[in-house]
Structure 1
Amino acid sequence: MKLKDLINEYYDQLSKSQKKVATYIIDNPRNIAMSTAQEIGKTIGVSETTVIRFCYSLHLSGYGELQKVIREQLLFQESSFTTYQKSKLELEQAPHFFTKVMERDRIAIGETMKQIKEEDYEKAIEQLSQAETIYILGLRSSYTAANWLSYTLGLVKGNVRLLRPETEDVIQTLSQMNDKSVVIAISFHRYLKETIQIAELAHRQQAFIIGITDSMLAPIHTFSDLLFPIYSPNKSTLDATASLFSFMNAIIAGLSVKEKDSFEKRRETYQSIPSDFLFVEGVD
């Protein structure tokens, strides 16, 4: 199992000090590979014993094994696109290529279901239901998902805005946020600094931040009130797409049930507006 997945698996069982060690390891793998447990503990502000106990919590034999795993797994990571292509080349010679690709998506959705806590999901739906304004943030490879979520969420509930830093004054938008605002920030490897910075500023405005990412230790976790990890076998946004959209669909479904009366009114208003000129009927 990859170290990041191992940390995710045992993260909730770690002490507060051990979680600091976990975060530092993900952010600074080279330092771990080149430093002693005592040096790392001093840098983080914890004891050497805490660093070693962290290793035991992951069922590693000790700090030496942690260094070995880091050298093998973290220091030589390839780009997410390269990893994505390699995983598909493994299936190239197999029959029924497309079914095997889709089967991997099905497995990833199943793994995502295991990682997400029911109480966190219900709290997210409650926060979205009570929010006066909902902001959706996702840049570059996460933009398509953010755009879809913004559009679809807007059909269920009013006052949903897609944050577009390239075309709007983000500072002006942030100044309008308060404790009745909810920001859904979508952030996948490689994590964009701009997404993290906007989430930080929104957090300072007392907005409720819902992070959707690929790891409990992703940078967005620092400013998230709720964090939802989407399983991806290769740290590739492309491989996370099926799981990501499935989870976002669950958010839409949950909110449409929670807001069923207002949703019905919005649907009736939507359908009352003449729109025949916009559509072409298909063949039955």
Structure 2
Amino acid sequence: MDNPIIQLKNKISELTNTQRKVADYIIKNPVDVAFLTVDQLAGLVRTSTTTIMRLTFSLGYSGYTEFQKGLQEILRNRADPNTRLAANLRDTNRSDLWIRCAENHINNIQAAVDMVSAESLQKTLEMIVSANRIYCTGVRSGLPVAQCLTYGLNRLLGNCDLVHADHFEWTERVSSFNSSDLIIATSFPRYARKVFDFVKAARENNAQIISITDSYSSPLAKYSDVILPCNVSSVAFHNSITAPMFVADYIISAVAINYSEKTKHRLDKLDSILKESNYHLS
């Protein structure tokens, strides 16, 4: 389901005067409405619950409850950190925060499992092992995921670099990209412009693109060969990277296991070098 606020704004000209009054209140007070009952909202706007229900039906929702859940999800995932925190605080019992945090991580991982198709995963692996060079990029909450992928894939394949999109070294590299180069970009709301600019420029130079992002409507989607959507909602203000890290870990594991003939020799050689240099304590 699309963003409830955007839906209201797009449909507002088609609404009755009473429905428009409700829509205007929701657009101006999304955090409050996300946790108001339908009776409370009706009282504040001085209308009937029937009017509110008809409004949510017209947007494609089964009722006010489904509309409200969509509003809560948008606030948690896409708003600025202060708004997200305010929304979560309204719905959090601090005494069970430990359990709620664990449940949130589990739900995010399960959502990734449900959203990512087997075909997308297989295409991801094929693109990785056939690429000449791989560049993993991300900033802010996406950066740890890019770092994890870079470390793991470089150990396996030896052709992976980290590109910090907030820095400008990629502008010198991107002009020489071609179809044998692969970009794995990680970006979540609020999407970083520099990651988008890098992906766009890479695509214009025929590089292949895999995007680990929050949805198929992400700004990265239009330039991507493969999209791996991950829910990044948290119980506080931030993007939770548990699900994206799960995806990254899967990619590294799947490359190692499914292409062991290609990776085993390099892993053995690296391990030999580490032993010779007495790198580990034991």
TM-score, normalized by the shorter chain, greater than 0.5: yes
User: 2:135 is paired with a residue of what secondary structure?
Assistant: strand
1:112 and 2:112 correspond: yes
1:129 and 2:129 correspond: yes
Q: Which residue of 1 aligns with 2:244?
A: 244
Change (3 A) 1:126 1:136: same
Pairwise CA distance, 1:233: 4.0
More off after superposition, 139-148 vs 74-83 = 74-83
Q: Which residue of 2 aligns with 1:62?
A: 58
User: Given that residues 84 and 237 in structure 2 are in contact (C-alpha distance below 8 angstroms), is that contact kept between their aligned partners in structure 1?
Assistant: no
2:10 alignment partner, one of 22, 26, 32? 32
User: 1:191 is paired with a residue of what secondary structure?
Assistant: coil
Q: Deviations over 1:178-231 (max 9, x none)?
A: 111111110100001111111111111111111111111111111111111102
User: Given that residues 75 and 84 in structure 2 are in contact (C-alpha distance below 8 angstroms), is that contact kept between their aligned partners in structure 1?
Assistant: no
User: Given that residues 84 and 234 in structure 1 are in contact (C-alpha distance below 8 angstroms), is that contact kept between their aligned partners in structure 2?
Assistant: no
Q: Which residue of 1 aligns with 2:80?
A: 79
User: Given that residues 135 and 162 in structure 1 are in contact (C-alpha distance below 8 angstroms), is that contact kept between their aligned partners in structure 2?
Assistant: yes
Pairwise CA distance, 1:78: 4.2
Q: Deviations over 1:45-104 (max 9, x none)?
A: xxxxxxxxxxxxxxx7435979x969x93699742465257547714123xx43442232
Change (3 A) 1:166 1:239: closer
Q: Which residue of 2 aligns with 1:257?
A: 257
User: 1:190 is paired with a residue of what secondary structure?
Assistant: coil
Map residues 144-223 of structure 1 onto 2, 5 A cutoff: 144-223=144-223
Q: Which residue of 1 aligns with 2:281?
A: 280
| Letter in structure 1 aligned against 2:58 | G
Whole-angstrom CA distance in 1 between matches of 2:5 and 2:132: 35
| Letter in structure 1 aligned against 2:122 | E
Identity level (%): 20
Whole-angstrom CA distance in 2 between matches of 1:204 and 1:235: 38
Whole-angstrom CA distance in 2 between matches of 1:148 and 1:183: 14
User: Given that residues 274 and 280 in structure 2 are in contact (C-alpha distance below 8 angstroms), is that contact kept between their aligned partners in structure 1?
Assistant: no
Change (3 A) 1:161 1:109: same
| Letter in structure 2 aligned against 1:190 | R
Pairwise CA distance, 1:149: 1.1
User: Given that residues 84 and 239 in structure 1 are in contact (C-alpha distance below 8 angstroms), is that contact kept between their aligned partners in structure 2?
Assistant: no
Pairwise CA distance, 1:166: 4.7
User: Given that residues 75 and 87 in structure 2 are in contact (C-alpha distance below 8 angstroms), is that contact kept between their aligned partners in structure 1?
Assistant: no
Whole-angstrom CA distance in 2 between matches of 1:237 and 1:154: 32
User: Given that residues 221 and 227 in structure 1 are in contact (C-alpha distance below 8 angstroms), is that contact kept between their aligned partners in structure 2?
Assistant: yes
User: Given that residues 80 and 235 in structure 1 are in contact (C-alpha distance below 8 angstroms), is that contact kept between their aligned partners in structure 2?
Assistant: no
Change (3 A) 1:274 1:189: closer
Q: Which residue of 2 aligns with 1:44?
A: none
| Letter in structure 2 aligned against 1:111 | A
Change (3 A) 1:151 1:217: same
Aligned residues between the structures: 233
| Letter in structure 2 aligned against 1:278 | Y
Q: Which residue of 1 aligns with 2:21?
A: none
More off after superposition, 166-175 vs 26-35 = 26-35
Whole-angstrom CA distance in 2 between matches of 1:64 and 1:274: 59
User: 2:197 is paired with a residue of what secondary structure?
Assistant: helix
Change (3 A) 1:65 1:270: closer
Whole-angstrom CA distance in 2 between matches of 1:266 and 1:127: 19
Whole-angstrom CA distance in 1 between matches of 2:61 and 2:186: 33
Whole-angstrom CA distance in 1 between matches of 2:6 and 2:87: 26
Q: Deviations over 1:110-133 (max 9, x none)?
A: 121001111111111111111111
